[in-house]
Amino acid sequence: MPGRRLYVTDAIVLSRFDFGEADRILTLLTPELGKIKAIAKGIRRPTSRIGGALEPLAELRVQLARGRTFDVVTQVTMQHTWLGLRDRLEVTATAWYCAELAERSLEERHAALPVYLLLRRAYELLHAGMAAARVARWFEMRLCEELGVRPEVDRCVECDRLLAPDHPVRWVPALGGALCADHPGPSVIAAGLSTEALKVLKAYQRMDVEALAGLRLPPAVEREVEERLGAFVRHVMERDTRSRRFLEEVRSGYGADAVPPEPRPRPADGAPAAPSTRAGSR
All residues at 6 or more sequence positions from 180 whose CB lies less than 8 Å from its CB, including other chains: 156, 158, 159, 161, 163, 164, 167, 168, 169
**Under DSSP, is residue 136 helix (H, G, I), strand (E, B) or coil?**
helix
Question: Using CA atoms, how far apart are residues 144 and 4, in angstroms rounded to an integer?
Answer: 37
pLDDT at 254: 56
Summarised one tens digit per residue, pLDDT across range 223-266 is: 999 999 999 999 999 888 888 888 888 877 754 455 555 555 55
pLDDT at 213: 93
pLDDT at 183: 82
pLDDT at 62: 96
pLDDT at 242: 85
Instruction: Please report, for residues 2, 126, 168, 256, 280, the alpha-carbon distance to residue 89 in angstroms, rounded to integers and kept in the order given.
Output: 47, 12, 37, 7, 16
Instruction: Give the architecture (CATH level 2) of 1-130+240-269.
Output: Beta Barrel (2.40)
Are residues 61 and 79 in contact, defined by beta-carbon separation less than 8 angstroms? yes
Summarised one tens digit per residue, pLDDT across range 58-74 is: 999 999 999 888 999 99
Extract the residue ranges of the chain whose pLDDT is less than 50: 1-3, 255-256, 267-282
Q: Which residues of 129-145 are buried (b: 16+ CB within 10 A; e: fewer)?
A: ebbbbbbbbbbbbbbbe
Give the max Cα distance, the chain: 71
pLDDT at 187: 65
Are residues 9 and 32 in contact, defined by beta-carbon separation less than 8 angstroms? yes
Question: Could you state, in order of their start, the residue ranges of all structural domains in the chain?
Answer: 1-130+240-269, 151-238
Beta strands 169-172; 34-40: pairing state = unpaired
Question: Using CA atoms, how far apart are residues 117 and 31, in angstroms rounded to an integer?
Answer: 8
Are residues 41 and 21 in contact, defined by beta-carbon separation less than 8 angstroms? no
Beta strands 191-193; 169-172: pairing state = antiparallel
Question: Using CA atoms, how far apart are residues 224 and 249, in angstroms rounded to an integer?
Answer: 17
* Whole-prediction pTM: 0.86
Q: List residues bridging with 152 in a β-sheet.
A: 177
Cα torsion angle, 100, 101, 103, 104, sign: positive
